[in-house]
Amino acid sequence: MFSYVDSSIRESLESENLIRTLDRNGAIVNSSGDQAYISILGPVPMPRVIDGEEVTLHWFPFVRRTELSTVLDSAAGVVHGGEEAFRDLVNSSMQVNSVFAFPGFDKAEEPLVRVHSCCMTGDVAGSLRCDCGPQLDVAFETINSSGNGAVVYMAGHEGRGIGLWAKAVTYLLQDRGHDTYEANTALGLPEDSRDFSDAAFVLKFLLQGRPIKLLSNNPEKKVQLEQNGQKVSEQVSLIAGICQHNKRYLEAKKDRGHKID
């Protein structure tokens, strides 16, 4: 995704502070400067019903600013064996991630935040092979009950970063006895290649450095957010959707350090 918007529309949105350019510290910078790293749009009003209550969320889509020339230069390196680097570049730059913030999030002290990796099979199709769909639903409900917070939805994290096609293959391997991590490595892919740095930069911008309570069982999320400057005051467990179909999956995650009873 190249953060292109027609120049006249961009100027109008910029004048209203509806599109902004951030650096790696979550600070606003000139869109044409060397420090430009992320484009963030919004807030876009998005009403939805949570636990029977209509809530208007504030949607902030954000994307890395990777220009076409950079991708073309990287593509030229593929003939010299740079396939992995090219795939990483395109994967990180083609994904539009999102913050779904509850009203008042930008002024909240220690809001509850779920950084959620996308899962088409769980979030959309309702698959019981994982707990992702129920976790997402319960996250919105828990944050709504808490009074304030946000869900950060990371679109490029399917299968812990391997993509939907490879994830489908790993499901077949899991049916042959591999656990969810072993299936990734059987394809020559990392157990987990997710990068949460962009979430940290955008949260730093929206909260101006204030800490969050992280709604997650995964200690690696906390580590990455803090390494990239977003303070985490507390990690709150999120258990949902456990069933016979995902028991092995959850056991494997627990074995890798996830905080699951």
- Which sequence positions are flagged as catalytic? 192, 194
For 232, the 3-state DSSP assignment is strand
DSSP letters along 61-119, please?
EEEE---HHHHHHHHHGGGGT-HHHHHHHHHHHS--EEEEEPTTGGG-SS-EEEEEE--
Distance CA 258, CA 261 (A): 9
H or E element that contains 152: strand 149-154
DSSP letters along 6-34, please?
-HHHHHHHHHTTSEEEE-TTS-B--TTST
- The answer to whether 63 and 3 have CB atoms below 8 angstroms apart is yes
CB atoms within 10 A of CB 23: 17
Distance CA 221, CA 137 (A): 19
For 217, the 3-state DSSP assignment is coil
∠ CA 226-228-230, nearest 5°, is 50
Distance CA 97, CA 42 (A): 13
Taking the CA atoms of residue 241, residue 259, residue 111 and residue 148 in that order, the dihedral angle to the nearest 10 degrees is 20
